[in-house]
Structure 1
C-alpha cells in the first residue's frame, strides 16, 4: 500500500498519511477550494452590505422613503465626524461597551454558578424551576424604575443587563449539565470521584458547547439590557444618544448611533467567535 496516499477524515478533508512528507495533491486542492469558499463568503457579505446601503441611499434621496425619518448613509459620515470631534462619541461608546461587558460577565458567572447548584441538588431545582421560568418570562423593562431607585442611574444599567441575560443562562447551562452522558458520570463515580470532582472534571468540560452557545446569546442579551437601561435612566452611552437625538428630532444622530451600535455588536461577536475557536481546539 502506498504510504503517501491521502485518507479522508470525518469533515471530508483529505490529509497526508505521513506528516513528515509533502501534502498530497488532493489535500492541497481541498485547501485551495476551502480558501476560495471563504473568500467568496466574505465577498458576498461585503456585497450584500453594499447593496443595502446603496438601496438606503437611493430610496432616501429619491424620497421613496422620507429622509427626515430615515436619514441616509452619505449624511451619517459628517454626523459621525461631528460626534467624534465634539459629541464625545468615544465616551458614549465606551460607556455602553463597559456596561455590556460587566453585565455579560456577571450574568455568565451568576448563571453558571446557579445552574451548577441546581445540578448539584435536584431538590433545589424542583423548588426553584417554576420561579425561574416565571422570572424569565416577565418583561424586564418593568424593572427599570426599581433598579433606578435601588442602584442609581449608573448601576441600574448593569442591573438591567444582568436581569435580561441571567435567567436564560441558568436554564441553558442547566440543560447542558443535564445532557452529559450519564455513563461518563457513573464511570467517574466508580473510580472514586466525589460529586465536586465529577462537576469539575466531567460536567463542566463536557458542557463547553453549551457554554459557547450561552456566550453567544448572552453578549446580545446583555447589550439589549444595557440599551434599555440607557433609554430610561442613563446620562451617557449609545442608548442615551439615541433617545436624546430622537427627542430633538436629530435623526442623523439617531441613525449614526445605531450604526455604531451595530459595529460594536459585530466586534463583540468576533471576540466571542475567537473564544469559541480557542475552546473548541482545547476541548474537541
Structure 2
C-alpha cells in the first residue's frame, strides 16, 4: 500500500468520525436545549413536553409492567405486515412479469390502488376482518403491497434486453430466466422495496392502532392525547422513531452485505 493510499484511507476515516461526531453533537444539543427551554418556560412543557418528563412517563409505564407489551405488539404487527407486503408484492410482480397480458389488464387498477389513500379503506377492513390485530396487519399490508408490486415489477422490466435475448437464444424457459437473470439483476430493486416498506409498514400499523387497538404504541399515542398526557405521546413517538431506525438499519446491513458480495 502506497503512502498516498494510506493518507487517503486515513482521510476517509477522519471524515466518517466527523460525521458521527456532529450527528451525536446535534442530537445531544437538541435534547439539552429542549430541556432548558422547558425548565425556563421558553416553551410550554405541557404542550411540548421535555426529555425529563418523557423519562418519568417511561418509568411510570415500565413500572406498570405494560411498556414491553406495547412495544412487542407494535413490533409484531409491523414485522408481519412488512414481511407479508414484501413477499406477496414480489410474488404478484413475478406473475405480472411472466404474463404480460395480465400486466396490461391490471395496469390501470394498480395505478388507481397506488393513488388511493389506503386509510380510507380502514372502516371496511374492520368490518371484514374484525376489530383487532388482524385488521391492523391487513391495513399495513395494503399500504405496502401495491408499492412493492409496482417498484419490483418496474425493476423486472428494466433488465438488460441484450442479456434477456441471449438467454432466449439459448432456449432458456421463463423459470430459468427468472432464476438466473431477473432475480439477481433485481436484487437492488428488492432492497429498495424493503427500505420503502419499512416506513409504509409503520404508517399502516400506527394508523390501524389509532382506529382499533387496545394495546401498542399507537394506542398509547391516542390514549395519551385523550387524557391530555402529552408526555406519554411524545415518549411513544420517540420509541417509535428508535425502533423504526433500528429496522431500517437492518435493511441497510442487508444491502451492505449484498454490495460487498456482488
Match of residue 77, structure 1, among 42, 55, 76: 55
Q: Work out which of the two has the higher radius of gyration on C-alpha atoms and give 1 or 2.
A: 1
Residue 27 (1) aligns with residue 5 (2): yes
Query: In structure 2, which of residues 182, 185, 196 is the aligned counterpart of residue 203 of structure 1?
Result: 182
Q: Which residue of 2 aligns with 1:163?
A: 142
Mapped partners of 1:271, 1:79: distance in 2: 29
Q: 2:152 aligns with which of 163, 166, 173?
A: 173
1:121 maps to 99
Structure 1 runs, 4 residues or longer, greater than 6 Å off: none
CA distances 1:31-57 after superposition (whole Å, capped 9, x unpaired): 211211111111111111122223322
Instruction: Find the aligned partners of 1:38 and 1:178 in 2 and give their Cα distance.
Output: 37
1:133, distance to aligned residue in structure 2 (A): 1.0
Of 4, 24, 36, the match for 1:46: 24
Q: Which string of whole-angstrom CA distances, capped at 9 and with x for unpartnered residues, describes residues 243-282 of structure 1?
A: 0111111111111111101110111011111111122223
Q: Which structure has the highest helix share of the two? A: 2
The Cα of 1:213 is off from its aligned counterpart by 0.9
**Where does 1:75-224 land on structure 2 (aligned, <5 Å)?**
75-152=53-130, 153-224=132-203
Please say if 1:261 is aligned against 2:240. Answer: yes
RMSD between aligned residues: 1.3
Partner of 1:4: none
> Distance between the aligned counterparts of 1:236 and 1:251, measured in 2?
17
Q: Say whether residues 1:243 and 2:215 are aligned partners.
A: no
Corresponding residue number in structure 1 for 2:231: 252
Aligned equivalents of 1:60, 1:133: Cα separation in 2: 47
Deviation of the 1:87 alpha carbon? 4.7
Q: Is the counterpart of residue 225 in structure 1 residue 204 in structure 2? A: yes
Equivalences, count: 261
In the alignment, the residues of structure 2 paired with residue 279 and residue 147 of structure 1 have an alpha-carbon distance, to the nearest angstrom, of: 37
Is the CA contact 2:77–2:133 (under 8 Å) kept in the aligned structure 1? no
Give TM-score, length-normalised by structure 1. Answer: 0.88
- 1:157-179 per-residue CA deviation (whole Å, 9 max, x = no partner) reads 10011111111111101111111
Kept in 1, the 8 Å contact 2:35–2:51? The answer is yes
For the residue of structure 2 that corresponds to 1:280, the secondary structure is: helix
Select the structure with the greater relative contact order (CA < 8 A; seq sep ≥ 6).
2
- Could you tell me how far apart the structure 2 residues matched to 1:54 and 1:170 are? 44
Q: Which residue of 2 aligns with 1:11?
A: none
- Gaps of at least 5 residues in structure 1 are 1-22
User: What are structure 2's unaligned runs of at least 5 residues?
Assistant: none
